[in-house]
Amino acid sequence: MSVDSKSGSPIRRLLTLSTMLAGLTSLACLSSPALAQVAATSPQDGASADGAPKTDVIVITGSIASAQEASIEEKRAAPNLMDVTAADDVGRFPDQNTAAALSRLPAVAVQRDQGQERYVQVRGAPNRWISVSIDGVPVIGVDEGGATRAFRFDSVPAVLLSSAAINKSLTADLSAEAVVANVDLRTYSPLQTEGFSVVGDVGYGEMDLGGGPQQQGSLRASWANEQFGFVIGGSHYRREQVTDNREVGAYDALGPTELDIRNYQLVRENNGFFAGAEFLPMPDLKLTAKAIFTEFK
């Protein structure tokens, strides 16, 4: 009896050990259904919970990388010094006309008329020292009044272009009238993309000068198969602004004798339309007919 009353006796230790084993057995029995339930709800290998096939790899493809690569490769392979805008760069920014799109190239500056991009300068030379071609065909540039041969780049909508190349050093195959550079505007070819394609943008804002509204929009639609391609599009630009000008006239020994103070309240509107058709009867022959119409109000 005295042996049973001691806490550290063999009989009590045996009873305590048996109780612990029974508790662990009960806990294991209670845990088993939960583990089986988790295993039953887990999806099978290679399939999602709803039975759809499991996707291991997602591949996203786009034209930005290929367009940039083509632009860089063309500059590397060129025998002269040139810069080429990638096809996606022309339409990525909200540029209404070609002058604004070309201003993003190095060594190219633009001249503005009442704040709107109009002329292009290369390496700081006068705008009349460059020649312009559209798809390799030389274009005569005549400013208003015929005073200079500068080309008005605001007459060509940016949505019409696919890319543009500026040849900063001339070769024998380029127009001889260029002194500093040749600008080749490459229009969009509908044969680049088979099927039906639509590209457009709309913008609205207020001018800092006068607080007038500014609105612009462009749209280009094309369709093509393996041999035929058609494209049509247009652009619209309108803004209202107020410009304050201070112009000094004649001078004498004491200084200016005339001061011209002007206040311009302008409503400028540009509309452009273009259409084109291409035929590819064989891989090395492509027939093209394109037209551009621009009006200034």
Residue of 86, 92, 85, 84 lying closest to 66 (CA atoms): 86
In a domain, 35, yes or no: no
In a domain, 40, yes or no: no
Pairing of strands 181-187, 130-134: parallel
Task: Judge if 203 and 178 occupy the same domain.
Answer: no
| Stretch 151-173: mean pLDDT | 84
Task: Judge if 153 and 179 occupy the same domain.
Answer: yes
Task: Judge if 115 and 220 occupy the same domain.
Answer: no
Task: Judge if 176 and 71 occupy the same domain.
Answer: yes
In single-letter form, the type of residue at position 144 comes to E
pLDDT tens per residue across span 76-128: 777 677 777 765 555 566 677 888 888 888 888 888 887 788 888 888 888 88
Task: Judge if 166 and 196 occupy the same domain.
Answer: no
CA distance 286 to 279: 6
Residue 60 has pLDDT above 70, yes or no: no
Among the three residues 149, 164, 187, which one is the final residue of a domain in this structure? 187
CA distance 180 to 105: 15
Percent of the chain with pLDDT over 70: 70
DSSP per-residue string spanning 135-158 = TTEEE----GGGS-----GGGSBG
Task: Judge if 181 and 223 occupy the same domain.
Answer: no
In a domain, 290, yes or no: yes
| Stretch 117-142: mean pLDDT | 85
pLDDT band at 26 (very low <50, low <70, confident <90, very high): very low
Better pLDDT: 74 or 66 = 74
pLDDT tens per residue across span 245-269: 888 878 888 888 888 888 888 888 8
89 in Cβ contact with 72 (< 8 Å): no
Element (H, E) at 120: strand 116-122
In a domain, 84, yes or no: yes
Print the domain residue range for 260: 190-297
Query: In the predicted model, what is the mean pLDDT of the chain?
Result: 75
Q: Of the given ranges (9-23, 179-193, 207-221), which has the lowest mean pLDDT?
A: 9-23
In a domain, 152, yes or no: yes
Task: Judge if 97 and 121 occupy the same domain.
Answer: yes
Residue of 210, 234, 250 lying closest to 293 (CA atoms): 234
Task: Judge if 255 and 282 occupy the same domain.
Answer: yes
Q: Of the given ranges (14-18, 104-108, 172-176), which has the lowest mean pLDDT?
A: 14-18
Among the three residues 187, 204, 234, which one is the final residue of a domain in this structure? 187
In a domain, 112, yes or no: yes
Residue 25 has pLDDT above 50, yes or no: no
| Stretch 242-246: mean pLDDT | 81
pLDDT band at 221 (very low <50, low <70, confident <90, very high): very high
Percent of the chain with pLDDT over 90: 13
Better pLDDT: 192 or 221 = 221
pLDDT of residue 6: 44
Q: Of the given ranges (71-80, 147-156, 158-167), which has the lowest mean pLDDT?
A: 71-80
For the beta carbon of residue 192, count every other beta carbon within 10 angstroms: 15
Q: Dihedral sign, CA of 114, 115, 117, 120?
A: positive
Residue 179 has pLDDT above 90, yes or no: no
In a domain, 108, yes or no: yes
pTM for this structure? 0.65
| Stretch 220-243: mean pLDDT | 90
Residue 15 has pLDDT above 90, yes or no: no
Pairing of strands 108-113, 82-84: unpaired
pLDDT of residue 91: 55
Overall number of domains in the chain:
2
CATH number at residue 149: 2.170.130.10
pLDDT band at 144 (very low <50, low <70, confident <90, very high): low
